[in-house]
Structure 1
């Protein structure tokens, strides 16, 4: 009997990428493969919880890996800025840290891959790792961020939050992005050249895989492109939702028959306790049930309204499936899960591709966008009421959900990965 194929999945140090890869790995396992996870420091246990083997990376040399929780905490003030302002205060420093991490883990990664001897490597990241390109097996790029990560003249600049059609604002943002990432790109290019690889053109840090590229972007929010992506190498998954444990909503002190609203800004966005408290004050005045993800800051909330339940974690897909509205930060997993279950999104972005997804939600009529901080209580109340009463939007989203679920993106991803292994 042939041994099962070993597929090494290497997501970036974020829960969005990690949990997206879990969905793919679940299907790989179901199809008889042996998925294993390579994880950055701080992510031990995330994948084991779903029954997968984990291999944690160390670091070597003068470069050090980044403590991303500490990094976000130090740059939290940037979340009050516009996407353009964030280029210098957040995006530039983030690329510096990403490059530092990539260099720091190169040798441990090379050694680990030599031990694992995978049949293929799945990379869900925004940067190349030479050890992967030179491992001698197919590697698969997963774009679990917004589709804007793959540039095109008709697609708005990555991380800009811009929409509409190409104009001077697009050009200004793109030029400034290239300028603020130039030093990181120069350093990274030199590193790749030392490893015998051709660097991608500025301002890109990762080329398309020659084997297979998987994009989450569902058709309902997809951009038209001047140069359509080659369907032989680029496969759109229409979302990629993991299987989670069933969730039984708690009994509230009031409003138990009311519609359910989930509020979650991800593991990092939950640190914004003051902003969440402001939102909870508004929730208390509305005739709905609210679940609020407080992450590690659960104990910061002492007085909680009768129609609000706060916890440190929820099995998100299982909760979204039961919800009538999802309030989130525009993370691609959250956005795709809302679409997968036919739930409107209210997006309050604070960084990275959340800006792009917030704009796209409004442009395509699948939700609304609200500034993360600059809102009045009546404004938040009105937009929640409006989304929960918009029957036309809800009907359109439910029809789209049926299509996405029938498409089975996670299964298609697993099948495509196994196909490239030969």
Structure 2
């Protein structure tokens, strides 16, 4: 291992994973590591903005604009599915998404292998939901980052991944697991065939990513963790109190009702495409004594008469904004949920897919937020929930205690320490001579 170990971070093509990895990379850099990023098409420049070197998977016809257009078309096609519950989405959204993910693995494998041969990393950090065989065959330790809900790692006491179920839902659990396995069977068989061609062992049904034998990082704060039947023990498994990156400060605007509570709303880069639901919510916000910052992604032009207590933006430095908020309305992405907990801010979750259902269930169960069905609400109901959450002293006190615990043990710092310790252990284990 070199004096300045090279850690190649390879997040999936989503801003949640990408920005989570930025936080880890910032801490690695402070500890003398040399973090570099491997970028999917569409993410060129994202990591360079934070001062990190980027290595780009070949775009082919997938320029950044084309990649953005592809995912916008994908989400636009599936918007009707986001009005379904977790069960109903298995065949219509989850299965096609796994097909697309397996396609990505097959498409980039050779290029990824070439990049890793060129970089010669001392370790690879994979923040994804699927294994890329090139990572496992790169002749260096690799780290799995579980930046989705903790449900991604199965256990008898943990609800099934993507189900939104509570742990005690035994009958529903078994039925969901059977339905999920059947829905993803075709993609899983194809993936296992590809693994075999690349020299990897097949995975169990419905499993697309094995734990790392070296190190696994879970972004599951202690306040919302499950009590597992089979504990995940250090040093192979390390729990983090979230993983919040350092971000630029945000100059807050002077809005009408600026002496009232501040609410931030973001449904992520993909959820912003659902302009219909956001328009409905803006109409409700106009009647609430609060000020609202709303992330609408690349769809600013879709909104006409914006209430005077609302500021729309195509991007906000989210951690800096959440830190100043009194309520965070979001889609249940794990990064957003962890950031809300880290800063002691209540979450109102309106999930539309993937682990958003799992996080919404966990927020309700732990008293750290509320789950509102994304489509079945009235204006009076939404207004009442927002106002009651802003007024809740009990929830604020609980979240303040959680925030103190999380900020005393920052996730990026713990993750960087765990990675550097893993590298040191592996170096000590190498035979001399």
TM-score normalized with structure 2 length: 0.94
Deviations 1:261-314 (A, max 9, x none): 000000010111111010000000000000000100011112111111111100
Deviation of 1:232 after TM superposition, in Å, equals 1.9
Q: Does 1:182 align with 2:182?
A: no
Partner SS for 1:296? coil
Partner of 1:172: 175
Q: What runs of 5+ residues in structure 2 fail to find an aligned partner? A: 61-66, 425-433
Q: Does 1:49 align with 2:49?
A: yes
Deviation of 1:164 after TM superposition, in Å, equals 4.1
Partner of 2:430: none
Deviation of 1:392 after TM superposition, in Å, equals 1.1
Partner SS for 1:105? helix
What pairs up with 1:315-330 in 2 under 5 angstroms?
315-330=317-332
Q: Does 1:116 align with 2:119?
A: yes
What pairs up with 1:275-314 in 2 under 5 angstroms?
275-314=277-316
Deviation of 1:67 after TM superposition, in Å, equals 3.6
What pairs up with 1:154-233 in 2 under 5 angstroms?
154-233=157-236
Partner of 1:31: 31
Deviation of 1:30 after TM superposition, in Å, equals 1.1
How many pairs are equivalent?
Answer: 417
Report if aligned partners of 1:59, 1:104 keep a CA contact under 8 Å in 2.
Answer: no
- In 2, Cα distance between the equivalents of 1:353 and 1:224? 19
Partner SS for 2:168? coil
Partner SS for 1:44? coil
Partner of 2:357: 355
Partner of 2:12: 12
Deviations 1:152-208 (A, max 9, x none): 111111001111404211111110000011111111101101111102111100100
What pairs up with 1:11-160 in 2 under 5 angstroms?
11-58=11-58, 67-160=70-163
Report if aligned partners of 1:66, 1:97 keep a CA contact under 8 Å in 2.
Answer: no
Report if aligned partners of 2:157, 2:167 keep a CA contact under 8 Å in 1.
Answer: no
Q: Does 1:381 align with 2:378?
A: no
- In 2, Cα distance between the equivalents of 1:59 and 1:357? 33
Partner SS for 1:154? coil
| 4+ long deviations beyond 4 Å | none
Report if aligned partners of 1:153, 1:166 keep a CA contact under 8 Å in 2.
Answer: no
Partner of 1:264: 266
- In 2, Cα distance between the equivalents of 1:166 and 1:153? 11
Deviations 1:25-61 (A, max 9, x none): 010111111100001101111111111111111279x
TM-score normalized with structure 1 length: 0.97
Report if aligned partners of 1:59, 1:108 keep a CA contact under 8 Å in 2.
Answer: no
Deviations 1:197-247 (A, max 9, x none): 102111100100000000001111111111111222111101000000011
Report if aligned partners of 1:270, 1:294 keep a CA contact under 8 Å in 2.
Answer: yes
Deviation of 1:73 after TM superposition, in Å, equals 2.0
Q: What runs of 5+ residues in structure 1 fail to find an aligned partner? A: none
